Structures are given as C-alpha cells and as structure tokens.
Structure 1
Amino acid sequence: MRTSIATVSLGGSLTEKLTAAARAGFDGVEIFENDLLGSPLTPEEIRARCADLGLTIDLYQPLRDIEAVPEAEFARNLHRARHKFELMRRLGTDTVLVCSSVSPLAADDDALAAAQLAQLADLAQEFGVRVAYEALAWGRHVSTYDHAWRIVETAGHPALGTCLDSFHILSRGSDPKGIEDIPGEKIFFLQLADAPLLAMDVLQWSRHYRCFPGQGGFDVAGLVRHVLSAGYDGPLSLEVFNDVFRQADAGPTAIDAHRSLLVLQEAVGLARPPAPVVPTGIAFAELVTPDAEPVSALLGALGFARTARHRGKPVDLWQQGEARILVNTGPAVRRDGTALAAIGLESPDPEGAARRAEALLAPVLPRRRTPEDAQLDAVAAPDGTELFFCAGTSPQHPSWRADFIDTPGQLPSGTGILRIDHLALTQPCHQFDEAALFHCSVLGLHAQESVDVADPYGLLRSRAVTTPDGSVRIALSVGPAPTEDGAHAQHIALAVADVVAAARRFREAGGRLLPIPANHYDDLAARFDFAEGELETYRELGILYDRDAGGEFRHCYTRTVGRVFFELVQRDGDYRGYGAPNAPVRLAAQHTAKRLTGG
C-alpha cells in the first residue's frame, strides 16, 4: 500500500520535512496547517516541490470545531472552510480532516452535527474536496470512532466519510473489530500512531508521547487488519505528535518512521521482506581507542590474552573462553576515547541477514577490504554502532577469524570468564525508541519492558532486546549522565561461573573494582538471607546481588576506561534480568568514583 506521513511528525522547516519524507521512501504527506502557515513558499510552490520529490499531498488539516454549533458560529465556519478549500485546490489535495469538536459551544446533538457536516460536504464538493470526519479521544461530545461513523452515516453525503486514527481508538480501549462494519469506501483516511501504555490525561498523552508503530504498547497491526477487512485501500499514514521526534533531525526520523510502516505491512501480510535471521551468539565486541595501554592493562587483569592480530589492520584479538574483544587502534578511531564501536553477531545466514537489513532501510556499510579479507557485511545501528553478520567456517562464508594471525605462546591466564553475557549501549535520547524498533525488526530480537532507573542527576531509561534463549542480549538505555568528555558510557558484561573467584583474581592482577557503598549491603541484609560470611565477601569486593523467582544474580564492575567499563556477572537458576534494582547504586558509585579519582 501507499505510505504517507504527517509533517507534524518530523522536525525542521516544511521544506526539510518534505525532503526527508521523500528520501525515506514515503509516497505522500499530510500537511499540518502550522507547517504551511510558517513556510515562505506559496501553496503552488509547495505543490510543485512535492511533485518534484515524487510526493502526493494526501491530507490537509486546517479545520477545527466545525459541527453541532449555533447557526451564526456555523456560518463563520463555512466562510473559513471556503477559503481553506480554495487553498487546497491550489495545493492540489482533495481530502480535508475535520476533528470532532471540543468547543464549549458544541451541542450534544447528533442530528445537528450530521446536518452541518452534510452542509460542509456540499461546499467541499464544489471544490472537489472530500471531508474526513474523525473522533478525537477527548472530543466534547463525539470521542469514539463508532459514534463518528453513526453521524457520517446519518448525514449520508458522498463527499463525507470518516478518518480512523489508531491512537484515538486504542487509547480509549475501544474494540476496533467494529471497524469492519464500516464500508471501506467510506473510510476516507487512516492515521496510525503507537504509544507507550501510560496512565495520564489522554490529551497530554496524545500531544507528547505518541510514537511509530512497533515502538509502543498498542496493537496497531490488529487495528490495521480490521481496517483492511473493511475494504480500505487508501494510504497508511503516520500522525505522530512527539516532542523528542520534533527536536531531532528529520532525515533519520523519517527513515525510522518508514521502517515502522514496512514492519507493520509485514505483520498484516501486505509485504514480504526477507525473513528475519535471528543471531545465535556474539562473535566479538570491538573497542576503538587512541591509546591501547589502559585497555590492554584492563583486559590483561581480567584474564584475557592477546591471541591474534589482524593481518593488515592495527586490530588485536583478545580472548578468554568464548569471550572475544577486538582492540582497534587505527587512525579512524573516535576522538572521545575508548568506545564500543562494533559488535559481531553470529548468524546462520549472513547474506540473508544483510538482505533483511537493506529491505528495512539499513543498508550494508561500505568497507575497504583486501582480496584476502573475509566477506563481512555490516550495518549501522541508530547510535552508529556497527553490527557485523558473522558465520562459522564454510566455503560460502569464511570465518572472520581467518583475517587474524595467531600470536604464538599467548594463552589467557583465566579468571573464569565464559562468554559475553550482554552489551549495554547508551543511546542519544531522540533515538531510544528507534533503537528498540531497529534491533527487533532488523535483527529479529525481542524487546523486554522498559525500566526506569534513578540516576543521581536524572532518570535512566533502559530496555533490553534479546534472543529467546539469551544467547544475544543488548541493553539499550538513555540517561542524563555523560562521561567527562560529554559522551555516554557503554559496558560489556562478561559471564563467569564464580563471580567471587573472578573478582579476586582480577583484583590480584592489579585491576580496580568499583567500590560500592556500605549502605547497599545493609539493605541486602534486610532483604535477603545469606550464608555466614557471604555478605561480608560481597562488601569486600563490591559485588552486588539480586534475586527473583527465577534465580540469583551476582555482579561487579570495573572502573571506566574512556567510555567503557566491564561487568562480571554470575547467573544462577533462570535469572533473566540485569540487576535493575542495583542500577541506582552502581550509577551513584560511578559518579563518586569519577569525582574522587577521575575514572
């Protein structure tokens, strides 16, 4: 189906919004009146600009508080509408949105509303315009889609239909199945938005917290199935009011928006992009650094050994167990110190994974490689982290490991590290929802519920995306506390069989663990029962503890190098979380350590 986006969903000038929508692959736009009023372009120039970009103007939104009002007020409304219909003729668009009235002048009189909307449709028809009547969730007297449809049906005018909006329908808890009773030709337009499930005033919820389909808690796909069953064949259009989106660059936001519609169309059977190829593990994590010495010292204390070096690039492979860390000191490293720049994902079908990514607007990144280098495709996550699709050794997919030459005699000393348990990536605030949708739709991961954590300087929001078996876990977060250079910290969590033994060996090798306040252990003593001496050991080593119905979680942290720190984690039983109750303690301890020691 054709896709469209309301200009209110994007930031920037009208020209910037139109350009971003076209480049992202949209077929059309809804023009919000404020965007037109603030534009230096004439309606004719906007129409020409859209045509040059290959965009149709699918909807215009200039009218409010039209129906069920006193006659004198309605006469003024018709006067205003005539001017707007003439403007629409100049724009080259034929559908106008009319929202149910919120005016205190509006009467609770369906017959009057139907009669006045029919008069409005008579006028619109003279200009070749259709009127799409929409129920606002906070409408004064009309607030549900079925009520709006009854008024349209009563009016019985060919130029009057209804507009369905997923937010207005789902935020009120209305059953969308009734949409199938509306003739498809009378559904003039469909607007789509998702939203997190919040307990708040619906107007504020709508105006500030909408998001793209797949980023919230609504069953938008289910609603669309009902609309399609009714026979609707118009565009799928996004109308998303979101403060963060409107402050962000329009280009990436438009791509995120169009990706959400591609995934939605896949969910309802309208499109068949290449199937997701779910990764089976983490092949490596790549650190880039301008100074290898602090990183090497930290990895060495953790028990890693430099086991190989890339044949043509300044990249070392450090390994212990199944945990592999690449350290890149090449000239293209970031200026903000040591950072986690890339993740290698083990994939049963790297080529299929790359095809899926490209179909969902995540093109394979160009890479310089020699003829001997393994064919490794990579795409960029929204925060810029490169994601490589890696396969085991086969004639079709030579292993990435073949690019490295072994370093003789280098064996890990061992602190009991088994594998990479999870990776934590802090996102720019305007890309948090985008990142969750990206990792789920492109990589086939599953998103867990968002968790809000108190930070000493604000609030940190986190959401994990994982494979069902936990072989790949990525914790996405956004928070207020950047590192000293203004960038946010990232971390690599390493799975161990015995965190106490691993922490002792790390400390004995010269490593520095993050000190944890004694108050944490007093609280643990009040909440849980421990074996004799167990809690004292945790206090000595800075080990944090959590327990749930599935099992137990013990973890501790290294000091930060650049933007990166490591976490040692021990999972017992079926514990699947990340120690969220301990996150405020860890964040406060890191702030304290930074003030006292600078790292």
Structure 2
Amino acid sequence: MVNSNTPGDAPNPMGMDGIEFVEFASTEPIRLGRHLEALGFSAVARHRSKNVLLYRQGSVNFIVNGEQGGHAQQYAQQHGSGICAVAFRVRDAALATRYANERGGWEVDSAPGVMELRIPAFQGVGGSLIYLVDRYQDHSIYDVDFVWLTGAEADQAPLLLTAVDQLVQRVQPGRLKEWQDFYAHLFGFRAHPHSVAGECLIESPCGKVRIRLETAAGERGDGGREGLHAVRLLAPDLPAAAAELAQRGVRLGESLTPDAYAPRVLHTLHEAGLVQFEMASQAD
C-alpha cells in the first residue's frame, strides 16, 4: 500500500496528486487541434514516432492522438471522437500499480514502442484507460516520449483557461453507486457535498481530481453509452474568457441543468465528435 496522506489525514492509498493529462482519440485530429487552439491551447510538443500532439494551457495537458492503429484509434472508430484516457499523478507508480492489482483493478498492457516509457494503465469506463504517472516534476514523461516544438511555450496565448476542474462521466441508469464504489475502492475517492439529483460528484483524496458521475440518456445522441464525455476547465475570469472565445468564433452555450457546484457553466461541443468542453469561473 502507498502510505501517503493529505494534510487533512484523508487516506490516499494510491498517493494521488492530480491529473497529468487527458487524452483524446479522434478520427479528425487536425480539426480537434484547431478547436483546442480556438480555446486558447497551444501545441507544444510532438510524439517522437507517432501522430500525437501535446496541447497545453496553464496547468492543463491535453493529448490529441491521431495515430492509426492502437488503443486510441480503436476507441475513436468505435465511439467517435472522445476522451480515451486520463492519467493520474501518483507518488510511486510501481507501488500504486501493485496496490491497484491487489484491489482487483484490471491492468492493461499499454504496449509501449521502442524508446517509449512504459506507463502503467488500468481499464476505465467504456474502454478508456487510466494511466498512473510518477514522472511529473523536474523530468516529465514528455521529456522522453515527445519532442518540444521550437518556441511553442513562448508563443502561447494569454491564459483563458487554467486548470481541469472536473471530468464528467456518463453512466448507465442505476449504476451511479457502482461507479462511485469503483473509484473509492481503487483510488480512495469520496463523495463531494455538492451533488444534485441524478448526479454524484466525487473527489480524490488529494483534493485535486473531481469526477462528476451523471446518468446517461439515449436522447443525448450517444446512445446512452458510458464514458468520459466532457472535461470542465476553470477560467480566472469567465465573462472575459467567454467574450474572447466568442471573438475567436467559438460557439458557447449555457448549461441548462442545475449545477450545485458551479452556478454558471458555459460549454462548447467539438463539431467533429462528441467531445464537450465546459468552462466555469475560478471563483465557483
């Protein structure tokens, strides 16, 4: 077991320390990349041997995977553009992997290529993967698997969005408790007090990862399938960000469902698939 606790002494069995990246599978990676750029992200690095780009804004790392073959493209072919993986930061990936296996997690062979890091991965919702990353300080995983693009960081636009606030996971009716137990059992997530009917907001023991579990509905256009369908990002100034995004041609809609955690939420749907980005004020 990983003996690491938060300052409040909440048990943190995996030694979690936030989100390292969110990975998108897309059959139209260029189009998705343009949408991210419109949201203020910049391409900062390219994979050494694959059609994979790293986009960054603030502390947010988004990976767009357009590589033919492999898990991401299989996911995109089956589900359309979407979130195919999320990487959790952990203090020690080897110890965290052992703990997850002992708790019945389904480890998946990530099949690293030549000169690539082997990052432990576990089966997540809807065929997605959960990676465990312990290289995120002085020497990150990107220093091994990616080549930094010249001047990319210097050319980054002013920050509109600074951090990941929530991942949004749709689940089949009647399975909210089942998925809540899954994250609690493996990672030590606990229920957050801000929840509404038909949803459950859970939070990691480190306090840096929130997942909103919501009941899937077939009329949403995805057949009611389970999966990670949205990511909510924080804006230091939501009205200013909305105005800037509108000037960039990003079509924004306001959340129509009650949300106890963030009273005002804007969202944009990537046109090339069911990839939804939500934006909430940093102060909420």
* Fold shared, TM-score > 0.5 on shorter chain: yes
Q: 1:478 to 1:516 in 2, by over 3 A?
A: closer
Alignment of 1:448-487 (within 5 A): 448=192, 451=195, 453=197, 461-468=198-205, 470-486=207-223
1:366-402 deviation line (CA, Å, top 9, x unaligned): 122134212310101243221111113589xx63212
Whether the 8 Å CA contact 2:108–2:123 is kept in 1: the answer is yes
**What residue number does 1:192 align with?**
none
The aligned runs of 1:427-442 (5 Å cut-off) are 427-429=171-173, 431-442=175-186
In structure 2, what is the equivalent of residue 89 of structure 1? none
Q: Aligned equivalents of 1:462 and 1:355: distance in 2?
A: 31
Question: Which structure carries more helix by proportion?
Answer: 1
Q: 1:278 to 1:466 in 2, by over 3 A?
A: farther
Q: Identity of counterpart residues, as a percentage?
A: 24
CA displacement 1:48-97 (0-9 Å, x = unmatched): xxxxxxxxxxxxxxxxxxxxxxxxxxxxxxxxxxxxxxxxxxxxxxxxxx
Query: Are residue 303 (structure 1) and residue 47 (structure 2) matched?
Result: no
Please give the per-residue CA displacement for 1:90-119, whole angstroms capped at 9, x wherever unaligned: xxxxxxxxxxxxxxxxxxxxxxxxxxxxxx
Match of 2:109 among 366, 370, 378: 366
> What does 1:49-64 align with in structure 2 at a 5 Å threshold?
none
Structure 1, unpaired ranges of 5+:
1-274, 454-460, 518-543, 576-599
User: Residue 293 of structure 1: CA displacement?
Assistant: 3.3
Q: Is the 8 A contact 2:255 2:266 kept in 1?
A: no
- Which residue of structure 2 aligns with residue 418 of structure 1? 162
Structure 2 partner of 1:491:
230
Residue of structure 2 equivalent to 1:555:
265
Aligned to 1:594: none
Note if 1:330 corresponds to 2:67.
Answer: yes
State the secondary structure of the residue aligned to 1:486. Answer: coil
CA displacement at 1:300 relative to structure 2? 1.0
Higher strand share: 2
Contact conserved, 2:90 with 2:134, CA < 8 A, in 1?
yes
Answering whether residue 281 of structure 2 is matched by residue 570 of structure 1, we say: yes
Distance in 2, Cα, partners of 1:299 & 1:567:
12
- Counterpart of 1:413 in structure 2: which amino acid? A
Q: Compute the displacement of 1:503 (Å).
A: 1.0
The Cα of 1:355 is off from its aligned counterpart by 0.9
- TM-superposed deviation, 1:435: 1.6
SS at match of 1:506: helix
Relative to the length of structure 1, the TM-score reads: 0.40
Q: Cα RMSD over matched residues?
A: 2.7
Structure-2 change in CA distance of 1:547 and 1:393 (3 Å): closer
Higher Cα Rg: structure 1 or 2?
A: 1
What residue in structure 2 maps to residue 406 of structure 1? 148
- Structure 2 residue 85 is the aligned partner of structure 1 residue 342: yes
Unpaired segments ≥5 residues, structure 2: 1-11
Change in 2 beyond 3 A, CA 1:293/1:320: same
Give 3-state SS (helix, strand or coil) of 2:250's partner: coil
Check whether the contact 2:87–2:132 (CA below 8 A) recurs between aligned residues.
Answer: yes
Equivalent-residue separation in structure 2 for 1:330 and 1:297 (angstroms): 17
In the aligned structure 2, how far is the partner of 1:352 from the partner of 1:283?
18
Q: Provide the aligned length of Structure 1 versus Structure 2.
A: 261
CA distance in 1, matches of 2:125, 2:270: 24
Report the secondary structure of 2:162's partner residue. strand
Given that 2:121 and 2:129 are in contact with CA atoms closer than 8 Å, whether structure 1 keeps it comes out as: yes
